[in-house]
Amino acid sequence: MALVDALGNLARFVLLPGQRHDSVGVEPLLDGVALGALIGDKAFDSDWLRLTLNERGTSAVMPPNGSRATSISYDAEIYKWRHLVENFFQRIKEFRRIATRYDKTDTSFRAAIHLVATVLALK
């Protein structure tokens, strides 16, 4: 899971096991970060996350999950900027070491992601 800034550069990331749902990693990503809006996809549409963001004064810009009984409105124009996160993942996967996960341990994989994110931010 990654949190990128308005330019698409990595701000924070959390490495989760493959069998865990992404919403588990949201709280550690947002801890201590001031945000005006959080842009996420339908997978992040949950009542607890929307409540947490509302308490922090952050706008939740995510389309409602199809299983919701009532539809929740969101800003579709701001949601178009979600491509910055997708672009970040696409750029780091250009590095073979990241795409194929050569690293045996989580620590070295995290270090590789930090290194690649630094190289990309310097371009």
Domain layout of the chain by residue ranges: 2-122
Top CATH class of 2-122 equals: alpha beta
pLDDT of residue 121: 92
In 3D, which of 67, 61, 34, 66 has the Cα closest to residue 49? 61
Is the pTM higher than 0.85? The answer reads: no
Q: Look at residue 112 and give its three-state secondary structure.
A: helix
pLDDT block averages, 10 residues each, the chain of length 123: 89 78 75 88 87 91 88 90 91 91 89 94 89
Residue 112 structure tokens: 């590789």
Strands 2-4 and 10-13, bridge-based pairing: antiparallel
